[in-house]
Structure 1
Amino acid sequence: MKQKIILSFLLQLAILPACFAQQSNEAAVGYHLPDVMRTQSGKVINTVAGWEKTRRPEITALFEKNVQGKTPVKNIPLRYVPLSVSRNALNGTATRKQVRVYFSGDDKYYMDILLYLPNSKNKPVPMFLGLNFGGNQSVNADTGILISERWVKYAPEPAYKNHFATAASRGTQSNDWCVEKIIAAGYGLATVYYGDLQPDSANSVNAGVAPLFYRKGQKEPAADEWGAIGVWAWCLSRALDYMETDKDIDSKRVTVMGHSRLGKTALWAGAQDKRFALVISNNSGEGGAAITRRKYGETIAVMNKAFPHWFCGNFKKYNDKEDELPVDFHELIALIAPRPVYIASASEDQWADPLGEYLSGWYATPVYALYGLKGLNTPVPPDINQPVGDGTIGYHIRKGVHAITPYDWDQYIRFANRFFSK
């Protein structure tokens, strides 16, 4: 079975040029990818053991050195402080919890987790976990949610004043989260404001948690140490640490998800932390799901110049030199195997390279085949609003712009149901 899947994959590589020709809105794009199944020494990997013991650690190390940077291994003692609990939230359909997680004894470093759990289901429940852009109060109009006191990058008035949230920010991003839809489907939702861990601005690293990990005399991360994406991914794992202590949550069935730069973050968190049972990338683009060697839409140079704090210092060596990067982002998807992964694009989001996002799942398929699992069937992406998700890799391209919508959530819930309904 595994051999048939891999043979089918190799045969279909021949139709890739035709696939590209069909992309009438794109210039011709040619590239040569690193072989996910071949080590840097040239050895071909054809077993699960070879993948897990040799190739997977090699790819992980390459991403750590050249892209996201290494995540510190120092253990930080976590302290969980309940802030509030309401058993009658969302018109009685949900329990709302708010928990502060302290990372230091002086209370300087912390993050706030907002959780909604369905009251209609027996506990423990499966969860969706993701970072949000505007503070926890932005995900729903529920007046019981504490308003974030952290600086916010994109802060239109009157919801934000001088980059800090006001009461008018409540529910301003509710369309991104569809809390009631998630609860009605029997899932819980947990979210953290990404600015709790590091502000999303250049030269912001010392305003986040990174100094907790510095060596004596160190003033900033080294060139191969984490950028903001790594910090935010670390936050997601710490939220999962908390969920392992909450008896209302099934911590073995937690889906990590994210949109745009936080989709990049979710992929890196899922690649590093095997405790996440399912991983979702929504419009993550360059530095996320999209294949960088296509050089279509956003590029490494454009991203690093606009957002120099996202990735490690070494990543800047590859500005306008994508072909010299020793990895590409189909390998980031492959690091998630054998766990399910879902990649989503939007038709008007060409900056994120929808075809490149799809192809990353296609080129990761041979690794899933090692485990006897189905990935994507073809290098030709589906039509708009025609999701494919009968394997362990799911995908859709939705009509519309760079966003996360109720349509996206319908696909994520349906995909999760396949793996978590038993």
Structure 2
Amino acid sequence: MFRFIPLHFLLSLHVFGAGLPDPLVMADGTPVTTAALWREKRRPELLEFFTREMYGRSPGKPEKFFSEVFDRDEKALGGKATRIQIAIYPAGKPAPRMDLLVYVPNGARQPVPAILGLNFSGNHAIHPDPGIRLTESWVDEKSSKDHRATDANRGSNASQWPVETILSRGYALATMYREDVCPDHPPYFEGGVQPLFPELQKGDDNFGNIGAWAWALSRSLDVLEKEPLLDSKRVAVFGFSRLGKAALWAGATDDRFAMVISNESGAGGAKLFHRGLGEDIARLNTNFPHWFAKSFRQYMGKDTELPFDQHQVISLIAPRPVYVASAEDDKHSDPEGEFASLQAADPVFELLGSSGLPAGKWPAVNTSTQGGNGYHVRTGRHDVTDFDWRQYLDFADKRLKKGD
């Protein structure tokens, strides 16, 4: 049986804007007027709420967590980078294993900032570099053999990962394959890291895929903290589509991430449910029943009536900078709803000393608005493009390279 929200929460609900719940009002109706009250009371309250009602409970760092570098090539990509590949064993050897691929630009005089994100098709798919280990996890590639990666898959997803451009701008890039973490195809919950924590699957606040991917991003940061070529205090977490949902939740739950980038994360990510546009809660839970906690299903058909919404998730990241990007033709993600969500989080960012998003209305297409937070909507479809990356890197230059 699902646990519904306490009645006193609903009765005391304070709304602002277009019927949105105010992130700066406690569940008992107490206004949040100071940064201390936000940090000590309201933020923990919101974090617990979204954990219980939507994203599910995740474990901490396992006692047997182990990692080892299995490849270090200081002359990768024609000498432009040092390639580091790290095998991560959450419960010790031999399995499950998650492979973390890292490229660090050569020639830096000090540890560099990094961008960390999960990928859709395997580490080997982000670049044709023959030194990248082929994933041993299931892949959904036409050129694969029985859903197993082959050399024909190398570089198949490179258009979304401009590795050389990122390196030339002075950033390291780290990535991990989503299927190394947990199956994103049936049968769900039977492979990857989730079987390691059977106790977290017993309740309605179970350990779903969005939570698992966010958890894996934090475990990747644990490993990056050990690499002397990187400045682990200047790591941005990035994600596209469903992996953008995970990036936002990782940023909300792990304040070690210095910046969060959401690329068309849509429903359950950056967009507002209250607008009643684009993908809804019913479709999320019907088509992707493994993504969120079972408790989230109680809200199917109630998108415009919710006592919560995604601007509050973005608020949990404050005052660390957030960049949200949309695409004009990506109607499922409701581009204007993604912008409105980021804008609605402004009061929390401003309370904590950030300037938030400097835009009073939805900006023109292909125009980046950047302040404490950033946003753009570009022409085109659901994708990650060079235009997107240029805006992210420009924004990161202001936020992650400050003082260099």
Q: Secondary structure at the match of 2:21?
A: coil
1:113–1:239 Cα contact (<8 Å) kept: yes
1:99-137 deviation per Cα after TM superposition (whole angstroms, max 9, x unaligned)? 101122341112000000000312411100000011100
Q: 2:288 aligns with which of 299, 307, 312?
A: 307
1:184 aligns with 2:168: yes
1:336-357 deviation per Cα after TM superposition (whole angstroms, max 9, x unaligned)? 0010000000011111000110
For 1:142, the equivalent position in structure 2 comes to 129
For 1:277, the equivalent position in structure 2 comes to 258
1:347-395 deviation per Cα after TM superposition (whole angstroms, max 9, x unaligned)? 1111100011001111000001112221123441110111001x21100
Question: Could you tell me how far apart the structure 1 residues matched to 2:383 and 2:304 are?
Answer: 29
For 1:403, the equivalent position in structure 2 comes to 383
For 2:148, the equivalent position in structure 1 comes to 164
Q: Secondary structure at the match of 1:114?
A: strand
For 1:418, the equivalent position in structure 2 comes to 398
1:98 aligns with 2:78: no
Mapping for residues 12-31 of structure 1, pairs under 5 Å: none
Question: Could you tell me how far apart the structure 1 residues matched to 2:319 and 2:226 are?
Answer: 25
Could you state the TM-score of these two structures normalised by the residue count of structure 2?
0.93
Deviation at 1:212, TM superposition (A): 1.5
2:276–2:304 Cα contact (<8 Å) kept: no
Q: Secondary structure at the match of 2:291?
A: coil
Runs of 4+ in structure 1 deviating by more than 6 angstroms, as ranges, are none
Q: Secondary structure at the match of 1:293?
A: coil
1:66–1:325 Cα contact (<8 Å) kept: no
Question: Could you tell me how far apart the structure 1 residues matched to 2:148 and 2:340 are?
Answer: 39
1:155 aligns with 2:141: yes
Q: Secondary structure at the match of 1:87?
A: strand
Deviation at 1:76, TM superposition (A): 3.5
For 2:337, the equivalent position in structure 1 comes to 356
Deviation at 1:324, TM superposition (A): 4.8
2:25–2:32 Cα contact (<8 Å) kept: yes
1:133–1:194 Cα contact (<8 Å) kept: yes
What is the letter of the counterpart of residue 342 of structure 1? Y
For 2:195, the equivalent position in structure 1 comes to 211
Say if 1:221 and 1:208 are closer, same or farther in 2 by CA, change over 3 A: farther
Q: Secondary structure at the match of 1:298?
A: coil
Q: After superposing the two structures, state which structure 1 stretch, 114-123 or 72-81, moved more.
A: 72-81
What is the letter of the counterpart of residue 27 of structure 2? Q
What is the letter of the counterpart of residue 129 of structure 1? L
Say if 1:352 and 1:259 are closer, same or farther in 2 by CA, change over 3 A: same
Deviation at 1:326, TM superposition (A): 3.2
Say if 1:74 and 1:376 are closer, same or farther in 2 by CA, change over 3 A: closer
Could you state the TM-score of these two structures normalised by the residue count of structure 1?
0.89
1:338–1:373 Cα contact (<8 Å) kept: yes
Deviation at 1:208, TM superposition (A): 2.1
For 1:376, the equivalent position in structure 2 comes to 357
1:210–1:221 Cα contact (<8 Å) kept: no
Q: Secondary structure at the match of 2:217?
A: helix
Q: Secondary structure at the match of 1:292?
A: coil
For 2:245, the equivalent position in structure 1 comes to 264
Question: Could you tell me how far apart the structure 2 residues matched to 1:271 and 1:379 are?
Answer: 25
1:388 aligns with 2:369: yes
Q: Secondary structure at the match of 1:265?
A: helix
Question: Could you tell me how far apart the structure 1 residues matched to 2:137 and 2:62 are?
Answer: 25
Deviation at 1:70, TM superposition (A): 1.4
Question: Could you tell me how far apart the structure 2 residues matched to 1:408 and 1:287 are?
Answer: 21
For 2:272, the equivalent position in structure 1 comes to 291
Alpha-carbon RMSD: 1.4
Deviation at 1:175, TM superposition (A): 1.1
For 1:20, the equivalent position in structure 2 comes to none
2:61–2:219 Cα contact (<8 Å) kept: no
1:37-75 deviation per Cα after TM superposition (whole angstroms, max 9, x unaligned)? 111111111110111111111111110011101112463
1:327 aligns with 2:308: yes
1:218-263 deviation per Cα after TM superposition (whole angstroms, max 9, x unaligned)? 8x34211221000011000000000111111100000000000000
Show structure 1 runs of 5+ residues with no match. Answer: 1-12, 17-30
What is the letter of the counterpart of residue 107 of structure 1? P
Matched length: 387
For 1:25, the equivalent position in structure 2 comes to none
Deviation at 1:191, TM superposition (A): 0.3
How high is the sequence identity, in percent, across the aligned residues?
A: 45
Q: After superposing the two structures, state which structure 1 stretch, 200-209 or 60-69, moved more.
A: 200-209
Question: Could you tell me how far apart the structure 2 residues matched to 1:350 and 1:76 are?
Answer: 43
Q: Secondary structure at the match of 2:20?
A: coil
Deviation at 1:203, TM superposition (A): 4.1
Deviation at 1:202, TM superposition (A): 4.2
Say if 1:175 and 1:341 are closer, same or farther in 2 by CA, change over 3 A: same
